[in-house]
Amino acid sequence: MQPFENMIVKVCGMRDSRNIRETERAGADWIGFIFYPYSSRFVSAVPEYLPEKADRVGVFVNEPAEKILDTVRKYGLNAVQLHGGESPGICRELREKGLRVIKAFSVECKDDLKLAADFCDSCDYFLFDTRCRGYGGSGKKFDWTLLSLYEGSVPFLLSGGLGPDSLASLREFRHPAWAGVDLNSGFEKAPAVKDAESIGKFIKEFRLLQEDM
């Protein structure tokens, strides 16, 4: 049985101050900011409002540690999420600075999960997402049954195509290392503009899943 009430709900791809505040009030535990310049959700300036209760997560792709740490200081980040070809060494370096480190892996076949083994001693969380061209999310779900092959101890967030209609699938999903979900395009009105009301409803129902088991 999974402790759904303790599951992390991360909402990624935020940028607008008012929308950030609304999403935080909707119950998000972590709020993600994308610092990859080629993303349609790229954050180029510090929003007037940054989360006060929800943790702040910065998403990076193949940036040097020095630049990541500069951004951490500028935005007051609590964690970093790495989506490129970062090494275990840079993950370890960032972790030693007191940051939580989330390493993202694109999943299409069982061999993709083997890549995570090299990061078990350098990351706090993994994020498993759907493989697509380029970096970032595809808005599509991957075959979650592949995760039965993941036997690592590092907890992971489930990502890829999650939306308001995903609750039934999440109710059936099981894994001892499953720690939460990552929400993005499935809850958007436009790139970087989230439907906070829909997110709030999803979070409330997600928290109630354990009572239905």
Q: Is residue 138 over pLDDT 60? A: no
Beta strands (DSSP E) in 12-149 are: 30-34, 55-60, 79-82, 100-107, 125-130
Predicted pLDDT of residue 133? 55
SS3 102: strand
> Average pLDDT of 42-69?
97
Residue of 90 and 208 predicted with greater confidence: 90
Predicted pLDDT of residue 160? 87
> Average pLDDT of 170-198?
95
Could you say which of 91, 123, 129, 195 is catalytic? 129
Tell me how far apart the alpha carbons of residues 29 and 81 are, in angstroms, rounded to a whole number: 15
Q: Is residue 137 over pLDDT 70? A: no
> Average pLDDT of 166-181?
94
Q: Is residue 127 over pLDDT 70? A: yes
Predicted pLDDT of residue 43? 98
Sort residue 185 into left (φ over 0), alpha (ψ -120 to 50) or beta: alpha
Predicted pLDDT of residue 130? 85
- Provide the number of structural domains found in the chain: 1
Q: Is residue 147 over pLDDT 60? A: yes
pTM equals 0.93
Mean pLDDT of the chain: 92
Cite the DSSP H helix spans in 51-173.
65-75, 88-95, 110-114, 167-172
Cite the DSSP H helix spans in the chain.
17-25, 65-75, 88-95, 110-114, 167-172, 196-207
Tell me how far apart the alpha carbons of residues 157 and 101 are, in angstroms, rounded to a whole number: 12
Q: How far is CA 103 from CA 50, 94, 163, 206, in A?
A: 23, 12, 22, 24
Please indicate whether residue 12 is annotated as part of the active site: yes
Q: How far is CA 67 from CA 58, 63, 90, 100, in A?
A: 12, 7, 12, 16
Q: Is residue 131 over pLDDT 80? A: no
Q: Is residue 59 over pLDDT 70? A: yes
Residue of 138 and 174 predicted with greater confidence: 174
Q: Assign 171 a pLDDT band (cuts: 50, 70, 90).
A: very high
Q: What is the pLDDT of residues 19-30, one digit of tens each?
A: 999 999 999 999
Please indicate whether residue 212 is annotated as part of the active site: no
- Strands 188-190 and 8-11 come out as unpaired
Domain that holds residue 65: 4-212
Crossing angle of the two packed helices 88-95 and 65-75, in degrees rounded to 10: 40
Tell me how far apart the alpha carbons of residues 83 and 34 are, in angstroms, rounded to a whole number: 10
Predicted pLDDT of residue 5? 58
Domain CATH for 57: 3.20.20.70
* Residue 76 token pair: 């007051």
Q: Assign 1 a pLDDT band (cuts: 50, 70, 90).
A: very low
Could you say which of 12, 91, 182, 195 is catalytic? 12
